[in-house]
């Protein structure tokens, strides 16, 4: 009997959690979260972790399972999630995966590129240079070591050039292996023991933006300011370099007024959602539905895909 991984994708605040729970109830299965912002125990409100009633409605995995102080990569997630799926498929040949982190979704559906082991001294030297010279050091190194990939990022995903963790990884692979980082991409991926059924949720842009603005207001009402204040002493941790917290840290620093910080959260979340949609629209064989589509219709589509394969 074939295994099926029903994967729900789409921008933030579009209704993925509610759909995943209804699908899990229908198929009597578990839910794997691949929202990298929801992995951390200390971050609840600002990452829109499912409510207690939602978590109780179906078994969930990879929700608040690590600390912001723990190093955790997409490779770690891939290994752990595939192991968990193997366990779950032994009980039920249909499982659900949901989340808004495109890289993490791709790691599970397609496998992760196979990179060489890099000596720790190379990694430590790069980190030291970054701490002393800033993000510009990493950008200059990548442009020198892998100009083709640097140009690709600049044109397709420029915000990545400001992400120190990603940039350090690109540079350490290039330096440590003596080959461009991009030369290790798009290799033959690991085989998967499941057939993906990918369901996307979308909405008109003005609707999506309005839902985001309202969600931010609800987060603030729920105590986001207080949650961010508790995390503020550790604001330099990589896990906290994310929308919703970063802007409030600037408020605590005295760089923003509270009203300006809130507007920045909304603006940056809207930009984040736009990038999510751009990424997910490239997903192969995804079936897209408007967020107002009756859940029964989406369940019927999932049933049909499983029966036909």
- Each residue of 86-95: b (16+ CB within 10 Å) or e? eebbeeebbb
Q: How far is C-alpha 20 from the geometric centre of its chain's CA atoms?
A: 16
Given a contact cutoff of 8 angstroms between Cβ atoms, the answer to whether 138 and 146 are in contact is no
- Residue 46 is assigned to a ligand binding site: no
What's the token pair of residue 231?
């995390």
In this structure, what are the phi and psi dihedrals at residue 201, rounded to the nearest 5 degrees?
-110, 140
- Residue 17 is assigned to a ligand binding site: yes
- Residue 116 is assigned to a ligand binding site: no
- Residue 16 is assigned to a ligand binding site: yes
What's the token pair of residue 263?
């507007």
- Residue 262 is assigned to a ligand binding site: no
- Residue 13 is assigned to a ligand binding site: yes
In angstroms, the CA 103 to CA 81 distance is: 14
Collect all residues with Cβ–Cβ distance below 8 Å to 120 and sequence separation of at least 6: none
Task: Give how far Cα 118 sits from Cα of 112, 127, 173, 180, Å.
Answer: 17, 13, 7, 13
Which three-class secondary structure state does DSSP give residue 41?
Answer: coil
In 3D, which of 214, 215, 211 has the Cα closest to residue 48?
215
**Residues comprising the binding site for substrate?**
12-17
**Residues comprising the binding site for ATP?**
10-17
**Residues comprising the binding site?**
10-17
């Amino acid at each position: 009997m074939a295994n099926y991984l029903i994967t729900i994708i789409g921008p933030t605040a579009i209704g993925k959690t509610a759909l995943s729970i209804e699908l899990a109830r229908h198929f009597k299965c578990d839910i794997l979260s691949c929202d990298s912002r929801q992995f951390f125990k200390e971050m609840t409100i600002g990452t829109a972790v499912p409510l207690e009633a939602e978590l109780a409605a179906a078994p969930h995995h990879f929700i608040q399972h690590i600390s912001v102080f723990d190093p955790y990569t997409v490779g770690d997630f891939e290994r752990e999630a595939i192991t968990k799926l193997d366990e779950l498929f032994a009980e039920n040949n249909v499982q659900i995966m949901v989340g808004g982190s495109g890289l993490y979704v791709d790691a599970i559906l397609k496998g992760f590129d196979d990179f060489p082991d890099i000596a720790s001294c190379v990694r430590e030297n790069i980190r030291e240079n970054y701490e002393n010279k800033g993000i510009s050091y990493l950008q200059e190194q990548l442009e020198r070591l892998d100009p083709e990939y640097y140009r690709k990022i600049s044109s397709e995903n420029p915000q990545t050039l400001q992400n120190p963790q990603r940039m350090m990884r690109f540079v350490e692979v290039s330096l440590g292996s003596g080959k461009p980082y991009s030369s290790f991409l798009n290799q033959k991926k690991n085989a998967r023991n499941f057939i993906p059924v990918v369901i996307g949720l979308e909405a008109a842009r003005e609707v999506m933006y309005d839902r985001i603005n309202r969600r931010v207001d609800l987060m603030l009402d729920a105590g986001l300011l207080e949650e961010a204040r508790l995390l503020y002493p550790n604001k330099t941790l990589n896990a906290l370099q994310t929308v919703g917290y970063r802007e409030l840290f600037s408020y605590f620093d005295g760089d923003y007024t509270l009203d300006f910080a809130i507007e920045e959260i909304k603006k940056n979340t809207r930009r984040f959602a736009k990038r999510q949609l751009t990424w997910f629209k490239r997903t192969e064989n995804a079936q897209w539905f408007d967020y107002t589509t009756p859940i029964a219709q989406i369940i019927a589509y999932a049933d049909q895909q499983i029966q036909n394969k």
